Amino acid sequence: MKSAQALPLEQHNIEIQRNRAAWARKPMLREIYHDFYRRIAAWINPAIPGPVVELGSGMGRIKDVIPQCVTTDLFPNPWLDRRENCYALSFADGSVSHLILFDVWHHLRYPGTALREFHRVLAPGGRLILFEPAASWVGRLVYHFFHHEPVAVRDPITWLAPAGFSAADADYYAAQGSATRLFWWGEGHARLTGWRLREVRPLTSFDYFASGGFSGPHLGGRFLHGLMRALDCVTSPLPRVFAARLLVVLEKEPA
């Protein structure tokens, strides 16, 4: 498997611009992502005070489904609401109701350091919602051979940043298997002090694989995608073999 590697931080913005072009030319991809966003929206609890915030919004398309969401990223693109860094958020303590990270967690070189910052800004009972690649048997093969980012299921995870680390030091990093290992396989469960793990749901999505995502070719039309959705129903009881995506919900425990 490819290993995680560092690239210049600007690589994130290069990929955002490329993804915008893919979004414009792939209607099936838009439909699939809107379904993913609806799954996220189902976990938003309006009774929790504070704004709903997405970190690493990229194209900012979550507003298509969650219009009240505050979109943020490392880069000040004009379609986003504000600029934020996961390691040093500008929100006040306990002021945010939900944090959404869609395909962002696996870019965190120091997930424990970021998680501590998320805990700081969330209100008691506030939710951290992650949507990530799932490193199932099929998922690992697809992401390894058809995606440029490493899956890195065997690489060490550096939980905390070293002494003297600054948010400005963040670089481009990717390890697509990070959330699978920490939350689904349980490697990080002992480190979740102050959190309640509400949901870990691997999702089959051959429809997503057939879309090619943002970087691969789109396979077939609506008929094929209909068959892929039927295949999802058949294979969903075997997520460790077939899952494509992973939904994780953590809830901040009261002090």
Residue 239 lies in a domain: yes
Give the neighbor-by-neighbor strand order of the sheet with 243-252.
82-83, 70-73, 52-55, 96-102, 122-133, 243-252, 195-204
pLDDT tens for the 255 residues of the chain, in order: 454 555 667 777 888 888 888 888 888 899 999 999 999 999 999 999 999 999 999 999 999 999 999 999 998 899 999 999 999 999 999 999 999 999 999 999 999 999 999 999 999 999 999 999 999 999 999 999 988 899 999 999 999 999 999 999 999 999 999 999 999 999 999 999 999 999 999 999 998 988 888 877 777 667 677 888 899 999 999 999 999 999 999 999 987
4 in a domain, yes or no?
no
CATH number for the domain harbouring residue 211? 3.40.50.150
Total structural domains in the chain? 1
| 1, part of any domain | no
Instruction: List, in order, residues 6 or more apart from 64 with CB less than 8 Å away.
Output: 34, 37
pTM: 0.93
| 2 lies in some domain | no
Determine, yes or no, domain membership for 5: no
| Cβ(18)–Cβ(214) below 8 Å | yes
Q: Is residue 109 part of a domain?
A: yes
Q: Are 85 and 93 in contact (CB under 8 A)?
A: no
Which structural domain range is residue 147 located in? Answer: 11-252
